[in-house]
A and B are shown apart, each in its own frame.
Chain A
């Protein structure tokens, strides 16, 4: 690894990490602040939920959710946090090497005495550092929000850890898939449309799973692999799906590794 590339890359993403953390924290705190009123009216709430059409409930991932329990409610908030994580990780993945080609700085970096694999390795490690920093801050915020707003209600620590831990693999999926896609196209002109497309695409694929009929497309998306409501309900991960996800991550990484070493860097014209 080249420490100078690593350091530069971490510094470039530092602001973005803070902004994402701030967004996630606000989301969590605003949602969790409503928990006391939700749990107070738990009976009425669950009754109302029962009257919602099943399709709508499954679309929002609240079909078998108990909003009156701490983790039931928290897992509902986490779906939106997952969406943020997905966009952030896709942003980093799509931009990781393509940003150099867009801004023509690849000519600067790749004419230095470093190999392509070294550049890629340093950049990936830097981006993973930024993602992990976001996670750690997110974990602290989550714990704080639960302690602050749980109203003395009990929760199971093991399940909370499962929920919080899931974001790591979840991010890796979006990061590496986005990176692999960026290697397939000749030039990623702007990162945002790609990452929004990937993140929302994956979300919608899970949310509207029912509409595809027998074709189980939702098995492709991490929103299904780490279905927060199911984790709370089952008390464990869905192991085959998690393994499938890890498999996809490894494939995407391998593909990028081979492809980037042979990639022709386009010129400005």
Chain B
């Protein structure tokens, strides 16, 4: 069953574009990466799913329920971590977490303590006195304390130091192992690559690709680096793109029958050659050219 099912969702803010005709599905128990540059419509999509804003057209279902009609019931099982966290400044961390927990039918106290100690969060400080990174931690605990079945993360790692980022990823992975579905929006591809099973790529408000992260990476595109002793090979073959030569090293992308390029390589006098999968970063750039 798809936990999130988005169907031709469109949002305009007055005349300016939010997202246009976005459709995709997120399966139960997966970690779905949602990547795109700033302003592509990632936050818009998440805010639509949470009914913070309302769609211009199209619809979406979460847990099989219509977001326009059953928002409150849906949100009972959602944990949300916004990209920028702001809370009632005068409150103490523990009071905010208790206030947050009071909205859910669970007894969340134990889980709260567990998460807080894991994220090394001091419960008795005032929110006003917390640094950006510490506020972020409050956000993480707040988003997970009611053991949601679906977690929406909107660029969650900004402001966390590398150590905390790793803890956070471990936490998300653990939650995922328990069966929690994760929707992870980010513009940092390496973290998406580390964590996600599938990705959706959004560009200027439109979904340009939804696929398995491995398929995306393999996609028959190879990154080839060749060191030649004499001269500069032409690589005049179909499927060759982005040829860059520097200090005798030629780098290029090849997409097509791998035998063609291999046969060509044997005609050269090669010092060194490497053929590897392109990183997600490089694939990503390809979508944005």
Contacts and interface: CB of A to CB of B under 8 A. Distances in A.
Interface of A: 2, 4, 8, 103-108, 110-115, 118, 262, 264-265, 267-268
A266 to B, nearest CB: 9
Given A118-B72, A268-B84, 18 more contacts: A2-B103, A4-B103, A8-B99, A105-B87, A107-B80, A108-B88, A108-B100, A110-B52, A111-B75, A111-B78, A112-B100, A113-B103, A114-B75, A115-B71, A262-B54, A264-B13, A264-B52, A267-B47
A104 B102 contact: no
B76 interface: yes
Given A4-B99, A262-B54, A265-B53, A112 B75 contact: yes
Contacts of B76: 113
24 contacts: A105-B86, A105-B87, A105-B88, A106-B52, A107-B52, A107-B80, A108-B86, A108-B87, A108-B100, A110-B50, A110-B51, A110-B52, A111-B78, A112-B103, A113-B74, A113-B104, A114-B103, A115-B71, A115-B72, A118-B72, A264-B13, A265-B53, A267-B47, A268-B86
Contacts of A113: 72-76, 103-104
B266 to A, nearest CB: 54
B185 interface: no
Contact of B52 (A2, A111, A115, A118): A111
B89 interface: yes
Interface string B61-87: 000000000011111101010101011
A4 B86 CA distance: 19
A265 B86 contact: no
B284 to A, nearest CB: 22
Nearest to B105: A113
Listed residue (B13, B47, B74, B78) with the most chain A CB atoms within 10 angstroms of its CB: B47
The 7 closest A-B pairs by CB, nearest first: A104-B86, A113-B76, A112-B103, A4-B102, A264-B53, A113-B75, A265-B52
A107 B103 CA distance: 14
B217 interface: no
Contacts of B50: 110-111
B43 interface: yes
Contacts of A267: 43, 47
